[in-house]
Structure 1
Amino acid sequence: MDRAISVLQVLARLKKAGVTEIATELSVHKSTVSRLLGTLEARGLVEQAASRGRYRLAYGVVQLAEGASKKHDLAVISRTVCDALAEDVGETVNVVVHEGRAVVTIDQVIGSASITTVNWVGQRDPLHATSAGKVFLANMPRAEFETYVSAELERFTDHTMVDPGVLEADLARVRDNGYASTFEEQEIGLAAVAAPIRSLDGEVIAALTVSGPTFRIDRASIPKIAERLLPAAAQISERNGYPKAG
């Protein structure tokens, strides 16, 4: 069932696709995709396009969509995942979106180990000094990134990356690792880790972050937190329509 849903999500994004294309997108064997397509076609959820061998969504999907009575926004979709992650790591978990030269927190869950009472919801923070901001910078088009760094980057602490070359090198590591981190770059005593949340077409539309004091989140523990953060961000992405591989 999980893979069948992923097939539908790939077709929603690509409009039309053959067995090989879908198998490549999902990293599964072509025979598996072929069996799934056969079942979906029999139930009226996909159909073969005029050019044989390529599939598209069928009217049955429209009928299913009509049964949805409520449009869930990202905060609602992510809430249960955030609750579980905050309980797991014991730190504050935020969902953050990109807005101009800043990021804005749209939802927050405070973990059991947290001693903070700071409410980040609605707060605007800089892209270059936050883990969520680095997720967006690492995934934005080159021209957009160059426009951002062409203006003087504000320094918040001695650790803030204000040199475009240093920042760009750090963003390359973000792309390699799949997550971003900051250590006292926005505020002394604060560390954070962030991973991307993607839409159906793979675009990074939000970031999931874990933040806390540096006496609990130190440089050694950041990779361990990322191991828990990345699956959670992937789960939210899948709930938002992004196909699950495998």
Structure 2
Amino acid sequence: MTSFGEGVFVSAATADDRSTGKDTAGEAAGVRSVQRAMDILSLLTEDRPVVTIRDITDGTGLAKTTVIRLVQTLEQTGLLWATSGGYLAGPALWRWAHLARTSWEMPPEMTRAMRDLSARHRETVNLYGTRDLTRICLAQQESPQALRHVVRVGDELPLWGGASAKVLLRDADESRLRRIVRSSPEGAERLARLRSEIAEASARGFAVSHGEREAGLSAVAVAIEGRSGGVVAALTLSGPTVRFSEPQVDAFAQDLIGVARRLSERGFDHPLGA
């Protein structure tokens, strides 16, 4: 996919070069370098806070000479920091992280609502937003129970399944739905059923899923609306299917609907709701 995209870009740019004289070959190389740098930074995780040159070459598939050149640039800009054991996140990222935190942190009302929901029902509460073909975990309040569903804040999950996907896609057009189902295990055959599930969730005011993405995992989700009335986020309760009987699902849904309505009426003061 990446090679195809770059090929189309270079081909189209070649025609433009003849009329504008722009050095788009250099631009393409620059874009590639930025993507490679991002690939290197993405190897850093909570479980692996330090990476070596060998980790980077194995993780990206890039030549060692290319990796060394990129790492040196990232180190010079403060995005990586060299230690005796390898490279860790540099101090420049701390400034960006602080900016991201202040820009994207949840409003106090949302944090309290999620905490209270989890306390009442003893299940994990998540808030999801969308980015193109995926949904992103924006916030989480973990269940206090030993057996619980947990994803990390910032994790990206597919939109072809799951309760939150069905409410997040309420206003999605046909083109986007077709692109989403291509990555599903069922492929294009998932499209008709996904359309039906989205319509059902819209009519009921909530969505339910049982084992769609992971066996034994269930969830109930409702939409949070922005100032324009469109869906900007999904508020969910999720956990083991054995604890999501039909009466329990109904209780979860009614509580979620009430909370989401209050949050939507107050205004979702967040970049997603802008």
Does TM, normalized by the shorter one, top 0.5? yes
Whether contact under 8 Å (1:128, 1:161) holds in the other structure is no
AA aligned to 1:192 is: A
**Larger RCO: 1 or 2 (CA < 8 Å, sep 6+):** 1
Note the C-alpha offset of 1:93. Answer: 0.3
- Percent identity of paired positions between Structure 1 and Structure 2: 26
The 1:237–1:227 alpha-carbon spacing in structure 2 relative to 1, beyond 3 Å, is same
Q: Deviations over 1:109-150 (max 9, x none)?
A: 12334523734311111112121111112232344334434x
* Correspondence for 1:167 among 185, 194, 216: 194
Aligned counterparts of 1:217 and 1:115: Cα–Cα separation in 2: 13
Whether contact under 8 Å (1:77, 1:240) holds in the other structure is no
AA aligned to 1:81 is: A
Aligned counterparts of 2:251 and 2:103: Cα–Cα separation in 1: 34
Counterpart of 1:121? Answer: 153
The 1:154–1:145 alpha-carbon spacing in structure 2 relative to 1, beyond 3 Å, is closer
Counterpart of 1:108? Answer: 140
Higher-Rg structure is: 2
The 1:98–1:141 alpha-carbon spacing in structure 2 relative to 1, beyond 3 Å, is same
AA aligned to 1:216 is: R
The answer to whether 1:206 aligns with 2:233 is yes
Counterpart of 2:163? Answer: 131
The 1:236–1:114 alpha-carbon spacing in structure 2 relative to 1, beyond 3 Å, is farther
Aligned counterparts of 1:191 and 1:127: Cα–Cα separation in 2: 15
- 1:184-203 correspondence runs (5 A): 184-203=211-230
The 1:130–1:161 alpha-carbon spacing in structure 2 relative to 1, beyond 3 Å, is farther
AA aligned to 2:232 is: I
Aligned counterparts of 1:106 and 1:219: Cα–Cα separation in 2: 27
The 1:138–1:241 alpha-carbon spacing in structure 2 relative to 1, beyond 3 Å, is closer
* Correspondence for 1:96 among 110, 124, 128: 128
The answer to whether 1:227 aligns with 2:264 is no
Q: Deviations over 1:61-81 (max 9, x none)?
A: xxxxxxxxx988545441001
The answer to whether 1:154 aligns with 2:181 is no
TM-score (normalizing by structure 2): 0.55
Gaps of 5+ in 1: 1-69
The 1:114–1:175 alpha-carbon spacing in structure 2 relative to 1, beyond 3 Å, is farther
Structure having the larger proportion of residues in helix: 2
Q: CA RMSD in A?
A: 2.7
AA aligned to 2:191 is: P
AA aligned to 2:199 is: A
TM-score (normalizing by structure 1): 0.61
Aligned counterparts of 1:117 and 1:175: Cα–Cα separation in 2: 25
- 1:67-78 correspondence runs (5 A): 73-74=105-106, 76-78=108-110
Aligned counterparts of 2:104 and 2:213: Cα–Cα separation in 1: 32
Note the C-alpha offset of 1:196. Answer: 0.6
Equivalent residue pairs, number:
168
Aligned counterparts of 1:221 and 1:227: Cα–Cα separation in 2: 10
Aligned counterparts of 1:211 and 1:187: Cα–Cα separation in 2: 12
Question: Where does structure 1 differ by over 4 angstroms across 4 or more consecutive aligned residues?
Answer: 70-73
